[in-house]
Amino acid sequence: MKRGLFITFEGIDGCGKTTQLRLLGQRLRSIGRDVEETVEPGGTAIGRLIRKILLDGANSQMDARAELLLYFASRAQNVAEVIRPAMDAGRVVLCDRFTDSTLVYQGCGRGLGAELVVQLDQIACDGLRPDITVLIDIDLQTSLARAQQRNATLQSTETRIDDESAAFHGAVRDAYRALAAGEPERFVVLDGAMKIGNVARHLWEALRERV
Ligand code: TYD
């Protein structure tokens, strides 16, 4: 069976990963690659309903384990409906966040531990793992300023995680860096404080041989 390439994008809120995903998608299409773009949580009609529950600032009472299961419910649907079929068709799948997000936000940030996240990943993703993960690393101040600006501009109600403390986001950033250090063959780490065009150029240099 043909197999595609599964590339995930990770980083703290406001790091610029969504912009980089789009730019990479355009570039890959321009050289004739068949690209599928998706997002977590979301990516399917069912996932978008789950996303609404997860990110609504009004749901401040959500239990950490309920939150964890909802992220994986969205992901199971995305894997079954979008990602697995695209991989089987030999496409390049670009996914905005995946299980590494759950490892760092719920496993570490919420203190649920990596073991639980890994167990649920096995159930929800059925062995599907990213071939390449792009981590856009950025300092806390720059990222928070960007996230706040975005929320104000879009009048977004998706603020539940953005509203967490600087200590929470700092722990998440450290956890991302530790993950990347532990799996250097999977991770491409880029400095998100660079200009958009420079991040994109570095990313292309890192990936061009592999795509
Ligand atoms: P998103 O719109 O992806 O935020 P950003 O554009 O800043 O990346 O919102 C997703 C939010 O959900 C983000 O704050 C991180 C959080 N999240 C988790 O806590 N766990 C997860 O497993 C995923 C996928 C996201």
Give 84-142 pLDDT, tens digit per residue. Answer: 999 999 999 999 999 999 999 999 999 999 999 999 999 999 999 999 999 999 999 88
Q: State both tokens at 8.
A: 């995930």
| Coil vs helix vs strand at 60 | coil
Pocket of ligand 1 (CB under 6 A): 13-14, 18, 40-41, 55, 71, 96-97, 101-102, 105-106, 147, 161
Strands ordered across the beta sheet of 132-137: 35-39, 92-96, 5-10, 132-137, 187-191
User: Residue whose CA is closest, atom 22 of ligand 1?
Assistant: 102
Pocket test for ligand 1, best of 101, 133, 138, 163 (most atoms within 8 A of CB): 101
User: What spacing in Å lies between the alpha carbon of 89 and ligand 1's midpoint?
Assistant: 27
Judged by average pLDDT, the poorest of 28-37, 51-60, 148-157, 176-185 is 148-157
Report pLDDT digits (tens) over 129-182. Answer: 999 999 999 999 888 888 888 878 877 777 777 778 889 999 999 999 999 999
Q: State both tokens at 148.
A: 């706040």
Q: How many C-beta neighbours within 10 Å does residue 64 have?
A: 12
